Amino acid sequence: MLGREKEKITDVRVQGIVAIAAGIIVITALLLPWLSPEHSALLGMNRTKEPLEQVVPMTLVFLAFLTIFGGTIHIAGYMIGIKITTVASAVAFFISVMVIVVTIANVDANEGKTLNLLVGPWIGAAGAIFGVISSMLERK
């Protein structure tokens, strides 16, 4: 019976560590370039005076911190932590994918202008996927 409990503790630690890593990946993705209009690159955390342009990055920062917090309290023994991580990561994945889809749709609409999708949203989506699958990491 003691071996079972040890495996369970190991599963919880692995789930929590993967969740924390997922949150860190999403925050790191915001520091990478997301879009490239013609000659310059726009980072995920761009300094703009428009408050609406800051909604997506600030929401992703909040969700990433929620993912890290969920992983931390999951390691501490609270099972609600992994649920917080899963939901926050799923929403972060949805937002990252919507940025990709909207950017691709705008490229088709603006025929004369060049707008390239860079590495940021892809890494953000990958980090969010890690957060979602962290709850599924268990030994059978």
Query: pLDDT tens digits, residue range 28-76?
Result: 988 887 766 655 555 656 666 667 667 888 888 999 999 999 999 999 9
Query: pLDDT tens digits, residue range 73-123?
Result: 999 988 899 899 999 999 999 988 888 787 777 666 665 565 666 788 888
Sheet holding 42-43, edge to edge: 42-43, 33-37, 115-117
Residues 63, 81, 86, CA angle at the centre, nearest 5°?
50
How many whole angstroms separate alpha carbon 76 and alpha carbon 14? 12
Query: pLDDT tens digits, residue range 3-22?
Result: 445 657 788 888 999 999 99
What are the sequence ranges of the domains in the chain?
7-136
pLDDT given for residue 38 in this prediction: 57
pLDDT given for residue 93 in this prediction: 92
pLDDT given for residue 109 in this prediction: 60
What is the pTM assigned to this prediction? 0.81
pLDDT given for residue 115 in this prediction: 60
Measured CA distances, 18 to 49, 100, 130, 134, 138 (Å): 35, 24, 7, 6, 12
With a cut of 50, say whether residue 1 has pLDDT above it.
Answer: no
Place of tokens 């309290």: 73
Contact (Cβ atoms closer than 8 angstroms) between residue 126 and residue 24? no
pLDDT given for residue 103 in this prediction: 72
